[in-house]
Amino acid sequence: MELKPYQQSVINDLSLFLDQLQQTNGRVREAFYDFWLSKGFRPFPGTAIEPYKNNVKDGADHPVPHICLKVPTAGGKTFIACNALRTIFEKVEPGAVSANVVVWLVPSNSILQQTILNLRNPAHPYRQKINSHFQNRVEVFDKQAMLSGAGFNATTVQGQLSIIVMSFDSLRARNKEDRKLYQENGNNISFAQGDTTNPYVLEGTDETAVINVIRSLSPVVVVDESHNAESELSVEMLRNLNPSFILDLTATPRKNSNIISFVDALELKKENMVKLPVIVYNQKKERTEVINSALSLQRRLELLANDERKQGGRYIRPIVLFQAQPKTSEDNQTFEKIKETLIRAGIPSDQIKIKTASIDELKGINLMSPECPVRYIITVNALKEGWDCPFAYILASLADRSSAVDVEQILGRVLRQPHVMRHKSPLLNLSYVLTASSRFRETLQNVVNGLNKAGFSARDYRAIDETSDSANQPVAKAAGDPLELLFTLPAPTPEASPNNGDAGDELDPAAIHYAGNIAANGSANAIGTDITAIEQKALAEATEYDERIKQMSDTPSALPPALTDLVDQYRIKDQFQELAGTIRLPQFFQRVSTGIFGDEELLLRKEALLADFNLRKADRNIDFGSVDSELYKVDLEEAHKGEYTPRFSHIDGQTKDALLANILPNQTREGQIKTMTKQMLRRLGNLKPISDKDIEWYVRQVLEDLTEAQFQDLIAQEFSYSERIRQKIESLTTTHAEKTFRLWLDQDKLFLRPSYALPATISPTETGKDIIKSLYVHEAKCNPFEEKVIDAIANLESVAFWTRNLERGRGFVLNGFINHYPDFIVVTKRGKIILVETKGDHLDNTDTAEKIRLGNFWRSKAGNDYRYYMVFETKEVPDAVTLATLLGTIREL
């Protein structure tokens, strides 16, 4: 199982943050600020992204990096975390992590068992991914394994990835069993140092206690559903672990969360992860009508699923969740009466199950099995976190008509999409909430609250109120402060009310219409017309939602939709709207054969050009002769709160003392090479698509080729050497990618297709001077030479408009064997589109030639209406132009 594009984007965000962390010498606040600044958003108090908060105060000069990934329900948070581990261990400062140890914290026993089961199962995608990243040297421990010391000692932890899965409560030590983690444990004697001043020993505990063993290993901590870990006890729990890095995973981060990545609901919908939008339909009549609509809609959906299965589709059996209201007493009787009513209406008893706090008729049942008959589940709020069944399509509330329906706790249970694929029938790509409430506005707010709890927002439902005077018009979508949609507080548990009554008392079996079992060869056309209104309106709303997804794809943004309303956005000027709307800039696409289904067209990525690249056969000749010049860099150091001053710092030698004093002198030359290879791999990080094993082999060979003097120099100047190796590998891959690129162009495997649309608005980090004919009300800031170039171009009579192209995934990328973001896009009055890349006369380097070659390939394939120019002020560079020449050319276009 591979990462979805949005999941890979989350990993990319994590990697970028860790890069910033390295560049700032571990100054987390500054790294966090620089990370968001590179995205075009300046963290500021009172905005959606505030300055970094040191939630787990450790008293150190540099706080523990503690960041959060916001991923909605059904977005694959656990799979993202499994992929994130390698990225973290590769880039966390060497020496900060004593061994590859992860403490994986979960909020409940049900999620605990599920997580342990999946991470231990060698056939599960989670374990398979981790195994591939850590060379199959992975062990998963639970609390009991840690207490018994089974497979966990000072020797084994150094040669493997150790994942310790525990619940929050077990480390909060609230009961006698959990306090064992803080007590002396002879099974951990191998970790004992016999030092009474051991800094890892918590006051009042023995150094062999499990908690102290974990502390001594400075683990990476993964906090699943981190919104449940905000209390003082939880903060103390995290601090006690002595973490080197904390990764929060949640759909609903709190306001003190340091979020570095957002996943929007539309991204999940694009990848067929969720059934959105949620269609909320309020009946004219009462609860009996809700049941009838739910039964008819379930039948309709199942018949559609049967039709698709006959055409080669996968098995789906849509399920209805009947939600009864809570009652102060005789809970079981309430649910039994509802079940009895449904059975008396003709529904087979084996199709109905109850799931409450006291009754669990789902235990041991595989709801996804074709052999399972269950189509109806009766509950209140028992189906919360940890319960997901993609076959659950309909949430039907049996609340009294006078009640505001509270679906907040379980709405997320119907959102997951069966088989993670788009189904032929649009109705199978949606989820449904059916109510009969006279307090529908309050019900809608509960829908919004439920979506918030699942990580979605008010944008992701469509409401239809049949009790309204304008029944054919959807209820206006709920408005909400974007801050509240990003950061939600737990809603108070609804108090039981006598008005709720017994949800089964007033249900008349004779008024419930059940058409019997669906024949295996039944057709969707056999359904009646009693849900025609729901179906028609659901289809209309689904079409509108899909159009929004298409618009998002056409105008991508580096900022998630949740943040775009909270930054300064600058729209296209009115006089350029029509012309700009017609422009689609060509990008390179790749033809990929899919066998009998013909060819598929995919946006070209450099990785595709490296499919047959073999690093083991590549050149290892690297010039290490001038690394001394790179030993110092200038950083900003926080002098006062929020104020930074320049500071020179030595970029190497940060973690060498321990190596030189305790490790390397006691090793053979082979052992030293092995140790330094591991250190260098941490520095190099991810060099996709080259495998970790190939990179390790290459680095080891490079180190073996060094003389003794060079090897000693490498120990002292590890950063500089690793950068030279990185540059060499990147040079090798770019050369290979360009060779393949040229070949595929000749073979017609690559082609240009109009693809990139100019976004309706931009959000630059900083704006520049107002220069005439700019496309947007304000453009991104330019350096002095860029400003000189575009000012001269804008004043040409032939130019219609120009725009400063944003970088880092926020603007137009000229894709190929490198990713190139030209500085400016210029459009002339005759319709010519010109890409301009500026270079100061002192900036000619190897990447200049690569950009020129790619630009010329693009121009030759794009046609006569397109141009690409690399411009220097006065310097003569092959295939580039001077500013005077460029102006003369554009003047004639």
pLDDT above 80 for 486: no
pLDDT above 80 for 844: no
- Higher pLDDT, residue 265 or 726: 726
pLDDT above 90 for 218: no
Q: Which residues pair with 259 in a beta bridge?
A: 68
Averaged pLDDT, 529-547: 74
Are 630 and 720 in contact by the 8 Å Cβ rule? The answer is yes
CB atoms within 10 A of CB 2: 9
Averaged pLDDT, 662-678: 73
Percent over 70 (pLDDT), the chain = 75
**Cα first-last separation, the chain:** 50
Q: Of 400, 405, 407, whose CA–CA distance to 499 is shortest?
A: 400
pLDDT above 50 for 596: no
Task: Determine the pLDDT at residue 810.
Answer: 78
C-alpha 637/C-alpha 43 separation (Å) is: 18
CATH of the structural domain 5-263, one choice from 3.40.50, 1.25.40, 1.20.1070, 1.10.3470: 3.40.50
- Higher pLDDT, residue 354 or 173: 354
Residue type for position 516: G
pLDDT above 70 for 558: no
Residue 174 pLDDT class (50, 70, 90 cuts): low
The DSSP letter of residue 107 is: S
- Higher pLDDT, residue 817 or 449: 817
User: Which of 27-31, 656-660, 693-697 is predicted with the least confidence, judged by mean pLDDT?
Assistant: 656-660
User: Which of 673-687, 764-778, 872-886 is predicted with the least confidence, judged by mean pLDDT?
Assistant: 673-687
pLDDT above 90 for 825: yes
Averaged pLDDT, 599-617: 87
Token pair listed for 153: 């000692």
Residue 530 pLDDT class (50, 70, 90 cuts): low
Averaged pLDDT, 784-790: 93
Are 298 and 105 in contact by the 8 Å Cβ rule? The answer is no
Token pair listed for 482: 């974007």
C-alpha 671/C-alpha 444 separation (Å) is: 64
Task: Determine the pLDDT at residue 846.
Answer: 67
Averaged pLDDT, 309-314: 89
Q: What are 247-275's pLDDT values in tens digits? A: 999 888 877 889 998 887 777 888 888 88
Task: Determine the pLDDT at residue 648.
Answer: 43
Task: Determine the pLDDT at residue 134.
Answer: 87
Residue type for position 285: K
Residue 843 pLDDT class (50, 70, 90 cuts): low
Most confident among 476-480, 524-528, 577-581 (mean pLDDT): 577-581
Cα-to-chain-centroid distance, residue 259: 11
- Higher pLDDT, residue 289 or 575: 575
Where are the chain's structural domains? Answer: 5-263, 269-550, 615-732, 758-891
Task: Determine the pLDDT at residue 386.
Answer: 57
Residue 644 pLDDT class (50, 70, 90 cuts): very low
- Higher pLDDT, residue 46 or 16: 16
C-alpha 261/C-alpha 92 separation (Å) is: 18
What is residue 831's three-state secondary structure?
coil
Are 499 and 403 in contact by the 8 Å Cβ rule? The answer is yes
DSSP assignment string, 642-691: TEEEEEEEE-S-TTHHHIIIIIGGGS-HHHHHHHHHHHHHHHH---TTS-
pLDDT above 90 for 3: no
Phi, psi of 131 (to 5 degrees): -60, -45
pLDDT above 80 for 542: no
What is residue 206's three-state secondary structure?
coil
pLDDT above 60 for 707: yes
Averaged pLDDT, 195-218: 82
Q: What are 111-160's pLDDT values in tens digits? A: 888 899 999 999 999 999 999 888 888 999 998 888 888 888 888 888 78
pLDDT above 90 for 237: no
Residue 653 pLDDT class (50, 70, 90 cuts): very low
Token pair listed for 79: 């799979």
- Higher pLDDT, residue 2 or 739: 739
Q: Prior bond to 122 cis, omega within 30?
A: no
Q: 718-746 and 846-862 helices cross at what angle (nearest 10)?
A: 20
C-alpha 660/C-alpha 658 separation (Å) is: 6
Averaged pLDDT, 481-490: 33
Averaged pLDDT, 183-197: 76
Question: What burial class does residue 675 get, using C-beta atoms within 10 Å of its C-beta: 0-12 exposed, 13-18 middle, 19+ buried?
Answer: middle
pLDDT above 60 for 42: yes
Token pair listed for 538: 């659901």
Q: Of 823, 830, 816, whose CA–CA distance to 870 is shortest?
A: 823
Residue 652 pLDDT class (50, 70, 90 cuts): very low
Averaged pLDDT, 447-454: 65
Helix or strand holding residue 195 (H, E) = none
pLDDT above 50 for 479: no
Long-range contacts of 119-122 (CB under 8 A, 24+ apart): 119/163, 119/165
Note the residue count of the chain.
893
Residue 531 pLDDT class (50, 70, 90 cuts): low
pLDDT above 80 for 729: yes
C-alpha 658/C-alpha 264 separation (Å) is: 44
What residue spans of 685-817 are helical by DSSP H?
Answer: 692-704, 708-716, 718-746, 784-794
* The three-state (H, E, C) secondary structure of 817-875, written as one string: CCEECCCEEEEECCCCEEEEEEECCCCCCHHHHHHHHHHHHHHHHHCCCEEEEEEECCC
The DSSP letter of residue 494 is: P
Most confident among 73-87, 584-598, 642-656, 819-833 (mean pLDDT): 819-833
- The reply to whether 758-891 shares the fold of 5-263 is no
pLDDT above 50 for 331: no
Averaged pLDDT, 522-531: 49
Name residues whose C-beta falls within 8 Å of residue 729's C-beta, 6 or more positions apart in sequence.
Answer: 615, 618, 684, 687, 690, 695, 698
CA distances from 701 to 622, 659, 673, 674, 868 (A): 12, 21, 9, 11, 41
- Higher pLDDT, residue 566 or 57: 57
Are 855 and 820 in contact by the 8 Å Cβ rule? The answer is yes
Are 331 and 357 in contact by the 8 Å Cβ rule? The answer is yes
Phi, psi of 830 (to 5 degrees): -90, 5
Residue entry with tokens 């004992």: 192
Helix or strand holding residue 522 (H, E) = none
pLDDT above 80 for 518: no
Compute the mean pLDDT over every residue in the chain, rounded to the nearest whole number: 79
Task: Determine the pLDDT at residue 671.
Answer: 82
Output the CA angle 887-890-893, nearest 5 degrees: 155
Residue type for position 731: S
Task: Determine the pLDDT at residue 483.
Answer: 30
- Higher pLDDT, residue 231 or 168: 168
Task: Determine the pLDDT at residue 568.
Answer: 74
The DSSP letter of residue 202 is: P
Residue 632 pLDDT class (50, 70, 90 cuts): very low
Are 104 and 128 in contact by the 8 Å Cβ rule? The answer is no
What is residue 824's three-state secondary structure?
strand
Phi, psi of 434 (to 5 degrees): -110, 130
Reply yes or no on domain 758-891 having CATH 3.40.1350.
yes
Residue type for position 842: H
Phi, psi of 201 (to 5 degrees): -85, 120
User: Which of 597-601, 656-660, 835-839 is predicted with the least confidence, judged by mean pLDDT?
Assistant: 656-660
Are 202 and 212 in contact by the 8 Å Cβ rule? The answer is yes
Residue entry with tokens 């296209």: 572
- Higher pLDDT, residue 231 or 351: 351
- Higher pLDDT, residue 118 or 766: 118
